[in-house]
């Protein structure tokens, strides 16, 4: 008996986001620009959120000049401030309508740099760990409460939580040994812990909201090419089976898959985009 697969869809239709309204937190950061670019290219309107003090970058200005205020708007909010998030959500609904995509991208990381002052593990201030957990996990949860509740009312939506390969593995300290700091550079221990919490929270929300038409997934990038020093990039690429760091193009496809109807039967999963880093 032939399998009835229903009406065929062209790839551009499956991955297209025409008419969708996406909210991106931490929008002015390096990854935020990648997510907005991909969503706008696929046809979505994007409501961008970042801290009051975050600088508007040239990349953001170029996106706004290209797509205009009818497709891209920026609002200021701290994701740990629920009253402000509620205000921003109401503004989003007034400007664009009810959001159907939420990219929980806002987060705190500590990139290695020789100009930084390091900590010994036993000396890391409690406040530093608390702020990372507050933003990366609790802030993500608050944004999901505020914007996800509108999706529940609408009976549809896709929430994409941005994780990290360090949700699955510990940082390899050998990658940072050449960086001259005293004490030696340490990736904040709360960073990986916060991202592991995000993965579990994703499963919790996915199971809870599946019957309401809202899907929740985690997208966990590996090392993303940026302004890292050459020695770090060399060592990191040697550690990756595909032999290189991720680029914006590498991240766009996975994001659009999770945001679009191409992943209509995918929820509660972590999609790791790391070139195979966690495979060995």
Domain definitions of the chain by residue range:
17-111+125-169+189-226+248-272
Residue 161: beta bridge partners?
Answer: 104, 218
Does 137 have pLDDT greater than 90?
yes
Cβ pair 190, 129 in contact under 8 A: yes
∠ CA 176-35-270 to the nearest 5 degrees?
Answer: 70
Active site residue 191: yes
Q: How far is CA 133 from CA 24, 47, 107, 169, in A?
A: 19, 25, 9, 18
pLDDT at res. 3: 44
- E strands along 51-137, which residues? 72-76, 101-104
Among candidate residues 61, 70, 67, 60, the one with its CA nearest the CA of residue 40: 67
* pLDDT(36) > 50: yes
Fold of 17-111+125-169+189-226+248-272: Rossmann fold (3.40.50)
**Torsion of the alpha carbons at 98, 6, 42 and 225, rounded to the nearest 10:** 110
Report the alpha-carbon distance of residue 181 to residue 189 in Å, rounded.
17
Q: Mean pLDDT over residues 245-251, rounded? A: 95
**Confidence class for position 208, pLDDT limits 50, 70, 90:** very high
| Catalytic member of 166, 191, 204, 265 | 191
Mean pLDDT of the 192-214 span = 98
Q: Compute CA distances 226 → 30, 170, 187, 276, whole Å.
A: 8, 21, 17, 19
In this predicted structure, the answer to whether residue 232 has a pLDDT above a threshold of 80 is yes
Average model confidence (pLDDT) for the chain? 93
- Whether pLDDT at 117 is above 90: no
- The confidence score (pLDDT) of residue 115 equals 55
Q: Can you give the pTM of this predicted structure?
A: 0.93
Give CA separation, 204 vs 100, 197, 215, in Å. Answer: 19, 11, 11
DSSP 185: P
Query: Which pLDDT value is given to residue 113?
Result: 60
Per-residue pLDDT, averaged over 195-206, amounts to 98
Of 163, 106, 102, residue with least CA distance to 134: 106
Q: What is the pLDDT of residue 183?
A: 86
**Quick one: pLDDT at residue 248?**
93
| Mean predicted confidence (pLDDT) in 57-80 | 97
Q: How confident is the model at residue 4 (pLDDT cuts 50, 70, 90)?
A: very low
Confidence band of 12 (pLDDT split at 50, 70, 90):
low
Dist CA 99 CA 1 (whole Å): 41
268: alpha, beta or left, given left = phi > 0 and alpha = psi -120 to 50? left
- Per-residue b/e over 101-112, b at no fewer than 16 CB within 10 Å? bbbbbbbbbbeb
| Lowest-pLDDT range of 27-36, 65-74, 98-107, 108-117 | 108-117
């Amino acid at each position: 008996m032939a399998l009835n697969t229903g009406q065929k869809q062209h790839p551009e239709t499956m991955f297209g986001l025409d008419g969708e309204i996406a909210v991106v937190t931490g929008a002015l950061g390096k990854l935020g620009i990648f997510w907005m670019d991909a969503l706008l290219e696929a046809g979505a309107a994007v409501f961008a959120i970042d801290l009051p003090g975050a600088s508007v970058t040239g990349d953001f200005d170029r996106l706004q000049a290209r797509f205009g205020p009818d497709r891209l708007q920026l609002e200021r909010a701290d994701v740990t401030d629920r009253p402000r998030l509620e205000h921003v959500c109401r503004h989003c609904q007034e400007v664009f309508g009810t959001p159907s995509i939420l990219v929980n991208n806002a987060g705190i990381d500590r990139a290695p740099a020789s100009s930084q002052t390091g900590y010994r593990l036993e000396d890391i201030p409690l406040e530093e760990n608390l702020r990372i957990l507050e933003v990366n996990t609790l802030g993500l949860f608050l944004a999901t409460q505020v914007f996800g509740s509108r999706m529940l009312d609408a009976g549809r939506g896709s929430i994409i939580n941005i994780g990290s390969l360090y949700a699955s593995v510990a940082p390899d300290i050998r990658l940072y040994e050449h960086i001259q700091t005293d004490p030696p550079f340490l990736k904040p221990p709360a960073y990986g812990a916060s991202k592991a919490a995000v993965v579990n929270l994703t499963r919790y929300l996915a199971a809870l909201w599946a019957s309401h038409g809202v899907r929740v997934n985690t997208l966990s990038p590996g090392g993303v090419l940026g302004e890292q020093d050459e020695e770090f990039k060399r060592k990191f690429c040697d550690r990756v089976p595909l032999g290189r760091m991720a680029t914006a193009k590498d991240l766009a496809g996975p994001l659009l898959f999770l945001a679009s109807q191409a992943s209509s039967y995918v929820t509660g999963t972590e999609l790791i985009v790391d070139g195979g880093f966690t495979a060995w």
